[in-house]
Structure 1
Amino acid sequence: MASTVVVIGGGYGGISVAKALDDIADVVLVEPRETFVHNVAALRAAVDPDWTERIFIPYDGLLTRGTVLRDSAVRVRPTAVELRSGTRIVADYIVLATGTRSPYPAKLDVEQAADGAAKLRATRAELARADRVLLLGAGPVGLEFAGEIKSAWPDKAVTVVDPAADLVSGRFPDEFRAELRRQLGELGVELVLGTSLRELPGTDPGRTGGFTVTTGSGVEITADIWFPCYGAAIDTDYLGPELRPARRADGRITVTTDLRLPGQHTVFAVGDVTALPELKMARAAQAHAQVVAENIRTLLQGGGTLASYRPEEDAIVLPLGPKGGVTYASEVGVLGAGPSADLKGGLFLDMYLELLGAVVAR
């Protein structure tokens, strides 16, 4: 009988591990959402109706032999997973790929695809009614959302506020941030950096309703709608007593170089949930998945030297609408709007359609 590999979480890392091991193990992918959600394109889906349905990709074509269970883990131990439904799965290997939650619309907070699409349509309608938009956070999410809004509605006023003194944390050269500022200036995005709001707006995020707020530095900002674009929540409360020592105070999971939890031989972790010192991005999750799949395959075939993972250097393709953006990677340096749009203009949708074995109407 084939060994059982349980993958907890059907995001970028989870689907990659599950797919890679489908030929050699009985893979069970545990995911509460109805479909895979292509979060890389979520901000565009909030402003562009052509993307509303595209980001929801069925899991049906992902596995040939394995199973996708619509459920979630409530307790994970070294050899078994207990699910919300009451089901208990005995496992030979377990991969933790539960990722993080981020404020909507960077990540959707609903499990049904129809509910997600309806929420995106409602957000687009609210944005269409607003003349002035306030975004809190000048990281990749805030800046990308600013670019998407200005591309869809060039006449809207968009203001980005962040307590940090500069744009985008990470180890990037000055030229990268200078190019970001240049393109944001051309779009007409106002940056208010080095300060935060004294109080949050009185309206709910994503709902149109005029308000005026004041920053700690005394700047008054009047807007019609606002969105939080910062912060990631990690839920690893499902870790059983044997695995809990790997859980840091922030909820992330410490892993060894072979991406196992310390002291555990059969439990691995991938993606945003890990405490690895690198930017949390889909490409990193997939790189983790490649190493974990290789290592589990090695163990299933009788053992040997396991592959090690080295955290990636900071690199990013940050779109500012379909035709703009800035890229940085050490091997290519800083790239401007044209090359960045070429790299990420399609938001890698085709890659994930292929990985998931899905055909989605265009």
Structure 2
Amino acid sequence: MTPTVVVVGGGYGGITVARALDDVADVTLVEPKETFVHNVAALRAAVDPSWAEKIFIPYDGLLSRGRVVRDRAARVTPGHVELASGATLAADYLVLATGSTSPVPSRLDVPELDAARERLRDVRDALDRSSGVLLLGAGPIGLEFAGEIAAAWPTTPVTVVDRGPALVGGRFPDEFRADLGRQLDALGVRVLLGTTLTAPPDPAPGTVRPFTVTTSAGEIIAADLWFPCYGTGVESGYLADSLAAARQPDGRLAVTGELRVAGHERVFAIGDLTNTPELKMARSAVQQAEVAAANVRALISGDTLRGYTPLPDGIVLPLGPSGGVTYDAEAGFLGAEMTARIKATFHIERFQETLGVPATV
């Protein structure tokens, strides 16, 4: 009999592993969203209408033998996935790929396509009406969003506040952060580091309404629109029985060198859900998916399993269509021109190919 594989989560890692196993197993991908969402380009889509449609890619062409089930995993145990609809899927092999959450618009918090489109329209409309934007968090999300806003609305003041002492976490050279700061300054983005707000803004995030806030240093900031750009979390509350024991305090799963969930031979975890010591990004999710798929194939055929080597710190951080900074362990530091080239398409063509959709860029 053909072995069954259930992949829980249809993000970057999930679609990669599902497609890679479609020829050797009966694959079922479980995903509540109506379409794949290319989150890497979500912040561009929040300011640029031409990108608002591109980031939604249908799942229809992903699998030729398997199937995509639009549902949510409610309870997962070794060998079984209980769905929110009440159905239960049996699995010889499980791949957990439910990814992470972060605030709108870096992630869209609704599964329906029309509602997700509306979220983007609401953000763009609010930005268009705003006379001053406050972003909380000077990590990759906050700084990329600041760059997108400043490039699209150059006369709108943008302020970024973060309690940390430096721009962007991770092990990056001084040159990287220096050029990042220079470009932000040239865009007119004001960054306040090493400080917090004494109280959060009164309006709800994404709502245009004048407010003032005070930093712990006593500075008063006036704006009429704000967004949280921090607070990434993982979705693993659906795990039960022995799988729940692998959850760490932050919700991530302890995995072996072969990306198996600790204590389980036929259950794999990939992407942001894992405790691998590396920055959680789409590229690492895809690489982990490739290793996990190879190892499922190896278990099916009786071959030797592969180990996964965590990626060194690296990032491509755009600041609008023509700016940004990049750091790669092999290439080193790259400035605005090369970053803009790398992010010109946000590599969407790669994921369109995985999903069996004709390239649109």
TM-score by length of 1: 0.98
Amino acid aligned to 2:358? V
The reply on whether 1:341 has 2:340 as its aligned counterpart is yes
SS in 1 for 2:17: helix
What is residue 23 of structure 1 aligned with on the other side?
A: 23
**In 1, Cα distance between equivalents of 2:53 and 2:185:** 31
The alpha carbon displacement at 1:361 in A equals 6.2
Check the 8 A contact 2:349/2:360 in 1, yes or no.
no
Check the 8 A contact 1:54/1:360 in 2, yes or no.
no
What is residue 295 of structure 2 aligned with on the other side?
A: 295
Query: Bigger CA drift: 204-213 or 341-350?
Result: 341-350
**In 2, Cα distance between equivalents of 1:334 and 1:57:** 32
**In 2, Cα distance between equivalents of 1:203 and 1:238:** 33
RMSD between aligned residues: 1.0
SS in 1 for 2:238: coil
**In 2, Cα distance between equivalents of 1:295 and 1:193:** 44
**In 2, Cα distance between equivalents of 1:248 and 1:119:** 32
Render the CA deviation track for 1:299-351: whole Å, top value 9, x for unaligned: 111x2321001111000000001111100012111100001111112111111
The alpha carbon displacement at 1:237 in A equals 1.4
Render the CA deviation track for 1:180-215: whole Å, top value 9, x for unaligned: 001101111001000111111000101101100001
The alpha carbon displacement at 1:105 in A equals 0.4
Check the 8 A contact 2:164/2:194 in 1, yes or no.
yes
What is residue 228 of structure 1 aligned with on the other side?
A: 228
The reply on whether 1:359 has 2:346 as its aligned counterpart is no
Counterparts of 1:311-322 in structure 2 under 5 Å?
Answer: 311-322=310-321
The alpha carbon displacement at 1:360 in A equals 7.0
Amino acid aligned to 1:294? A
**In 1, Cα distance between equivalents of 2:235 and 2:43:** 23
The alpha carbon displacement at 1:72 in A equals 1.1
What is residue 94 of structure 1 aligned with on the other side?
A: 94
What is residue 167 of structure 2 aligned with on the other side?
A: 167
What is residue 324 of structure 1 aligned with on the other side?
A: 323
What is residue 143 of structure 2 aligned with on the other side?
A: 143
SS in 2 for 1:46: helix
**In 1, Cα distance between equivalents of 2:358 and 2:128:** 31
Check the 8 A contact 1:138/1:168 in 2, yes or no.
yes
Query: Is the alpha carbon distance of 1:210 and 1:360 closer, same or farther for their aligned partners in structure 2, counting shifts above 3 Å?
Result: farther
Check the 8 A contact 1:100/1:233 in 2, yes or no.
yes
Check the 8 A contact 1:57/1:360 in 2, yes or no.
no
The alpha carbon displacement at 1:123 in A equals 1.1
Render the CA deviation track for 1:267-288: whole Å, top value 9, x for unaligned: 0000001111110100000000
Counterparts of 1:1-362 in structure 2 under 5 Å?
Answer: 1-301=1-301, 303-359=302-358
Query: Is the alpha carbon distance of 1:285 and 1:361 closer, same or farther for their aligned partners in structure 2, counting shifts above 3 Å?
Result: closer
**In 1, Cα distance between equivalents of 2:143 and 2:105:** 13
Check the 8 A contact 2:353/2:359 in 1, yes or no.
no
**In 2, Cα distance between equivalents of 1:361 and 1:277:** 35
SS in 2 for 1:51: helix
SS in 1 for 2:47: coil
Amino acid aligned to 2:256? T
Over 4 Å off, 4+ runs: none
Structure 2: any 5+ residue segments left out of the alignment? none
**In 2, Cα distance between equivalents of 1:359 and 1:129:** 36
**In 2, Cα distance between equivalents of 1:291 and 1:351:** 18
SS in 1 for 2:110: coil
SS in 2 for 1:117: helix
Render the CA deviation track for 1:115-170: whole Å, top value 9, x for unaligned: 11111111111110101100000000000000100111111100000000110000
**In 2, Cα distance between equivalents of 1:189 and 1:276:** 34
User: What number of residue pairs does the alignment pair up?
Assistant: 361
**In 2, Cα distance between equivalents of 1:289 and 1:196:** 38
**In 2, Cα distance between equivalents of 1:152 and 1:353:** 26
**Amino-acid identity (%):** 58
**In 1, Cα distance between equivalents of 2:358 and 2:72:** 26
**In 2, Cα distance between equivalents of 1:234 and 1:353:** 25
Amino acid aligned to 1:146? A
**In 2, Cα distance between equivalents of 1:291 and 1:279:** 17
**In 2, Cα distance between equivalents of 1:218 and 1:151:** 29
SS in 1 for 2:213: strand
**In 1, Cα distance between equivalents of 2:138 and 2:103:** 14
